[in-house]
């Protein structure tokens, strides 16, 4: 089977960029990825975005980005799967090359979330929920996550600060990431004293909404120039699984079944065992999502994801480093761009270019982006190859 290599990577810092437009953020990330590849020319552009039409009054991002980035005339489309939009775009780029119809594909994730007041952002984000049965009654992604956390604490008889290990680890990792929104470690005391947003969810349980863009260039291995100097990172597996859109339609609220199925599929496809994964880039929009992701993927037993984090197993030097550049919690939650930020960060790890955040001996990575509470789960396995 054709080896699909991550030939170029690029990203903008994550933050509040009122002075920059969607197209300008897209340009910065794509130009960095093209330069990193040594000048490869893509035949197709796949853009992951969730909220541009709602928050920026701009749809049709494929044509917009292709034109502004000097790629006018190529195939260019936009993919939307809520917070999994970036991961979905990556999968489409992967499938396009695997099909034999495309040789080189550019995948871009871009989002602007800070141009409008937070209440409007919450309303826009709620469009990723079941409109008829959830958001119409006032439920938001934050209040939904609060309900999940409350159920988790009740089901396993845990204290309020049980999930503190996730943001503490994220901010520790984010402190060494120059592209992160927050670059300062936090302590348990900070978590315990932080303000409640939607009880029992506190402000440190929630990733900050940010603007940002990230891009990767995918290519068939045989098309890489002889001057290509980066370590070879291939996409060894790709899988998408969906679940019910409405959380109340599931038989078990605390089991993200789509994560379990998506992880199993992508590992089977790549020929990698769970215990061979060097690092896990989970989608920690909320700390409860991180705990449930570890459990559903099979890294921790049911009800023990919080303990896995508390015991330091997700630290850079732990059993399974997670969110190695700070994840969404410290880097920032960039909506449809998250899956591509994860790809860039995992690629830096496998290249050995992660600096102070380097996971020693990293050879494999599982990256996973979620649309809502795992209503859509996109998983990829990246492998460092010879």
Average pLDDT of span 296-307? 98
The confidence score (pLDDT) of residue 118 equals 79
**Is residue 123 domain-resident?**
no
Task: Read off the pLDDT band of 183 (50, 70, 90).
Answer: very high
* pLDDT for res 2: 86
- Whether 29 and 175 map to the same domain: the answer is no
Helix (H) or strand (E) holding 46: strand 44-48
- Same domain (yes/no): 179, 112: no
Banded pLDDT at 116 (limits 50, 70, 90): confident
b/e 354-371 (16+ beta carbons within 10 angstroms → b): beebbbeebbbbbbbbbb
pLDDT at 1 over 80: no
- Average pLDDT, integer, range 113-132: 91
Number of domains in the chain: 2
Q: Are residues 101 and 196 in the same domain?
A: no
Per residue in 214-264, pLDDT (tens digit) is 999 999 999 998 889 999 999 999 999 999 999 999 999 999 999 999 999
For the segment 165-181, the average pLDDT, to the nearest whole number, is 98
Name the residue among 301, 310, 263, 269 with its Cα closest to residue 282.
263
Rounded percentage of the chain residues whose pLDDT exceeds 90: 97
Task: Give the domain extent around 9.
Answer: 4-117+209-232
Weakest-pLDDT range from 121-125, 231-235, 285-289: 121-125
Distance CA 375, CA 205 (A): 20
For the residues 297-317, what does the mean pLDDT come to? 98
Cα–Cα distance for residue pair 212/257, rounded to 1 Å: 30
Q: Are residues 85 and 50 in the same domain?
A: yes
What whole-number distance in Å separates Cα of residue 185 and Cα of residue 172? 5
CATH number of the structural domain spanning residue 369 = 3.40.47.10
DSSP 312: T
Q: 227 and 329, same structural domain?
A: no
Strands 44-48, 75-79: parallel, antiparallel or unpaired by DSSP?
parallel
- Same-domain status, 213 and 166: no
Distance CA 250, CA 256 (A): 9
């Amino acid at each position: 089977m054709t080896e699909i290599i991550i030939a170029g990577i690029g990203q903008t810092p994550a933050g509040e960029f009122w002075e920059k437009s969607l197209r300008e953020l897209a340009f910065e990330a794509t130009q960095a990825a093209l330069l990193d590849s040594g000048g490869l020319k893509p035949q197709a552009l796949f853009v992951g975005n969730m909220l541009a039409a709602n928050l920026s009054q701009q749809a049709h991002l494929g044509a917009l980005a292709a034109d502004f980035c000097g790629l006018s005339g190529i195939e260019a489309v936009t993919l939307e799967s809520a917070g999994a939009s970036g991961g979905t775009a990556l999968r489409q780029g992967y499938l396009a090359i695997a099909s034999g119809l495309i040789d080189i594909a550019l995948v871009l994730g871009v989002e602007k979330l800070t141009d409008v007041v937070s209440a409007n952002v919450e309303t826009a984000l709620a469009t990723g929920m079941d409109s008829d049965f959830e958001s119409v009654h006032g439920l938001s992604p934050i209040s939904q996550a609060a309900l999940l956390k409350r159920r988790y604490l009740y089901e396993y008889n845990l204290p309020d600060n049980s999930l503190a290990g996730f943001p503490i680890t994220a901010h520790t990792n984010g402190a060494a990431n120059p592209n992160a929104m927050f670059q300062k470690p936090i302590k348990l005391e900070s978590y315990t004293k932080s303000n409640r947003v939607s009880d029992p969810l506190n402000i440190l349980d929630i990733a900050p909404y940010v603007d940002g863009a990230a891009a990767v260039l995918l290519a068939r291995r045989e098309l890489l120039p002889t001057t290509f100097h980066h370590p070879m990172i291939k996409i060894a597996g790709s899988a998408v699984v969906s679940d019910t859109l409405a959380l109340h339609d599931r038989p078990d609220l605390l089991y993200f079944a789509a994560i379990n199925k998506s992880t199993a599929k992508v590992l089977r496809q790549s020929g990698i065992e769970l215990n061979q994964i060097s690092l896990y880039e989970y989608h920690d929009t909320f700390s409860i999502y991180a705990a449930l992701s570890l459990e559903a993927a099979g890294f921790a037993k049911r009800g023990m994801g919080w303990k896995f984090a508390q015991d330091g197993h997700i630290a850079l030097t732990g059993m399974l480093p997670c969110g190695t550049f700070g994840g969404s919690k410290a880097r920032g939650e960039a909506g449809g761009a998250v899956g591509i930020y994860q790809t860039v960060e995992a690629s830096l790890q496998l290249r050995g270019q992660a600096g102070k955040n380097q996971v020693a001996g990293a050879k494999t990575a599982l990256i996973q982006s979620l649309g809502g509470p795992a209503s859509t789960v996109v998983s990829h396995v990246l492998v460092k190859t010879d």
